[in-house]
A and B are shown apart, each in its own frame.
Chain A
Amino acid sequence: MARQKLRQKDDKHEHCYIRDGKLALPYQYFAGRVGSRFLIALRDKKQILGVKCEKCNRVFVPPRQRCERCMEDLSDSWVELSDTGELTNYTVVNYEDKHLPRKPPYILAMIKLGGADTPLPHILEGIEPGKVELGMKVKAVFADETTNTILDVDHFEPV
C-alpha cells in the first residue's frame, strides 16, 4: 500500500499533502522478425548475428530490418559475428540504482565484435577497473539462463 504523508506544517505549507505512487505496468514488446531471429540465435546457438548493408558496406549489431542510411532491406543479410572483439570505450559505473544490472563499481564497455562495424555496449568483468585498456581483446561469456535479451550474453571478459 502506498505510503501517504502530510508535509510538516509550517506557516507557508499548511495541509500540503504528498502521495507516494509508482509507475508499474506489465508490458509486452515484440522484438520484430529480425530482432526475434537475433535473439533466438543468441539463446539457442550462442551465436551473435549482425546484418550487413551491401550498399553501405556496413555490418550492424544490434540488427535491424532497414539500413538507416539507404533504407535497404537487411532482413536476409545475416552475418555471424565473432564472440570476441576489441574494447573501444568504457566507463566505471560507480553509482547504485534499480535499473542497473550490477552493484557498483562495474565496467560498462563498448565492444567491436569481429566482423561488425558498430560497437556493442556490454558489461566487462574479470578485470580490475584500473587495468582496463582501450583496444584489449575480450570474449563473450554466455548466461546459464535466458532472458531473451542481450543479457543472454552475461558479460564479456578479457581473452
Chain B
Amino acid sequence: MGKRVAVCAVEQTGFFTNLWQKRFQEMAFDIVEPIIRKTGVTFDMATGIRNIITCSDDVFDARTISDNAMTDAVGAHYRGEEKVTMDGINAIGYGLACVLSGHDDIILIVGHCKESQSESRDMVTNLAFDPFYYRPLGLDFKNVAALQARAYMNKSGVTDEHLAKVVVNSRKNAALNPAANARELLTEEQVLKSPMTCDPIRLLHEYPVSDGAVAMLLVCEERASEFTDKPVWISGFANCMDSYFLGDKDLVGNFSLKKAAERAYRKAGVKNPAEEFDLVEVNDCFAYQTPMWLEGLGLCGEGKGSALIDGGGLKTCNVNKSGGMLAGNPLMIGGLARAAEAVIQLRGEAGDRQVEGAKKALAHGTTGAAGQFHSVLVLDSE
C-alpha cells in the first residue's frame, strides 16, 4: 500500500429547490468557514492550504470561467486554484493526485451549483450535445435517460412498481437527513400515479431541481491528525468515460461504470463488493438508475436489480441513507454529495440515519448523458 490521503472535514449547505437568497459565493463561504473553524486549518503558504479545487459549471452559473468569481469566497486569492467541471466527486480524485504527488499536503475542495437560476435545467443539459446531430433534436439528460430507462427495464425486468419502491425508499431515508431537499414521505401509489413526463420516466422518478454546495478538506497521512481525530481514508478512486454519441454505446451495458468500479476496487482491495460495504451512495438522478448503477457496481448480479429491490436490499445494503440524488442535489455535485454522506457516516455523525459501526463505504458519481462517465470512490474509517 502506498501513502494515504484522509478526508479530515466535510461540510454541506443543505439542499433546497430554490436558494434564491444565497449567491454562489455565500453558499461557498457558508461551508468553507466552518471547515476553517473546526479544523484550525489556515491559508499559510508554508503550513496551510496552498491549493484549492473548485467545482462548478459555466452554463449553470451563466459566467465564463465560473471559478473566477468564486476565488475570494473559497480563500483562493494569492494561491493555487483549479476547477473541475464534471461531477465534483472527481475533485476528490484530483486532490488525491495533488497530495500523493507530493506537491501539496492539504487540498480544499468546494463544489457548488444552483440549478434553480436557469429557467430550465433541461435546456442546460441540451447544450451538452453536439450542435449538428443531437442538439437540434432536443436531446437533454431527461429524455436520453428515458431511452436508457426503457432499454434497462426491458432487459432487467425492473417495473414501474419497482421504481415506485425506489422513490419511496429514497424519501424514507431523506426524511431522516436534515440536508436533503425532497424529504416528504411518499406512497408507492403516489409515485405510480405521478405524471409520465418522458415515458417510462414519471415526474416523481426525477430528482428535484436543487441548489447547494459541498466542501471537503483532504490532507496527507502524516498531517491528518493536526486537523481531526476522525480521519476518513480514501482507499480507492477511479473513473471511466464511455462514447459521446448515444448510439455508439450499449445503453444498458454499464460499461464505464464497471471499468471504474473494477479499478477502484482493485486499488482498495475490495474483492466482494456485494458483501464488503457498510453503506453505498449511488448518484441516481432518475429512479431506474438506482438498480442499474447497483448492478454496474457489482452490488447485485447482472440483471438482479429487481430482485434486490424485491428482497429489501435497498434497506439491508444501506443504499442511499442520505436519500440519494433522488432526494435532490444539483447536477454538478451529485457524486460529491454522495461522498459527503459517506464521510459523515464513517465519522459516525449521521444522527438518526447513522449506520451503526460503519467502516467501509462506496460513493458513486456520474457525469454526462445516460451515465456516459462514472466515478467510483471507496472510503474507509480505519
> With a CB–CB cut-off of 8 A, which chain B residues contact A94?
195-199
Is B136's CB within 8 Å of the partner chain A?
A: yes
Find out whether the CB atom of A101 lies under 8 angstroms from the CB atom of B136: yes
Find out whether the CB atom of A149 lies under 8 angstroms from the CB atom of B62: no
A-contact bits for B116-138, CB 8 A (1 contact / 0 none): 00011011001000111111111
CA distance A148 to B21 in the complex (A): 43
Chain A nearest CB, measured from B16 CB (Å)? 14
Is A150's CB within 8 Å of the partner chain B?
A: yes
CA distance A16 to B21 in the complex (A): 7
Chain B nearest CB, measured from A156 CB (Å)? 11
Is B166's CB within 8 Å of the partner chain A?
A: no
Which residue of the partner chain, among A13, A121, A151, contacts B139 with CB atoms under 8 Å? A121
A-contact bits for B128-171, CB 8 A (1 contact / 0 none): 00111111111110110011011100100000000000000000
Find out whether the CB atom of B133 lies under 8 angstroms from the CB atom of A110: no
CA distance A68 to B248 in the complex (A): 9
Find out whether the CB atom of B136 lies under 8 angstroms from the CB atom of A23: no
> With a CB–CB cut-off of 8 A, which chain A residues contact B142?
95
Is B311's CB within 8 Å of the partner chain A?
A: no
Find out whether the CB atom of B136 lies under 8 angstroms from the CB atom of A123: no
Find out whether the CB atom of B150 lies under 8 angstroms from the CB atom of A122: no
Find out whether the CB atom of A151 lies under 8 angstroms from the CB atom of B136: yes
Is A90's CB within 8 Å of the partner chain B?
A: yes
Chief secondary structure at chain A's binding surface: loop
Number of interchain pairs (Cβ within 8 Å) = 113
Is A77's CB within 8 Å of the partner chain B?
A: no
CA distance A120 to B147 in the complex (A): 12
Chain B nearest CB, measured from A19 CB (Å)? 11
> With a CB–CB cut-off of 8 A, which chain A residues contact B199?
91-92, 94, 129
Find out whether the CB atom of B196 lies under 8 angstroms from the CB atom of A92: yes
Known contacts being A23-B59, A94-B198, A118-B245, is A89 close to B151, with CB within 8 Å?
A: yes
> With a CB–CB cut-off of 8 A, which chain B residues contact A95?
122, 142, 197-198
Is A100's CB within 8 Å of the partner chain B?
A: yes
B-contact bits for A60-103, CB 8 A (1 contact / 0 none): 11100000100000000000000000000111111101111110
Chain B nearest CB, measured from A119 CB (Å)? 4
Interface residues of A in 95-154 (CB under 8 A from B): 95, 97-102, 108, 110, 118-123, 129, 134, 147-151
> With a CB–CB cut-off of 8 A, which chain A residues contact B200?
91
> With a CB–CB cut-off of 8 A, which chain A residues contact B245?
60, 62, 118
Find out whether the CB atom of B132 lies under 8 angstroms from the CB atom of A150: yes
Known: A62-B245, A150-B136. 6 other contacts (CB 8 A): A16-B20, A31-B132, A95-B197, A99-B138, A150-B134, A150-B137
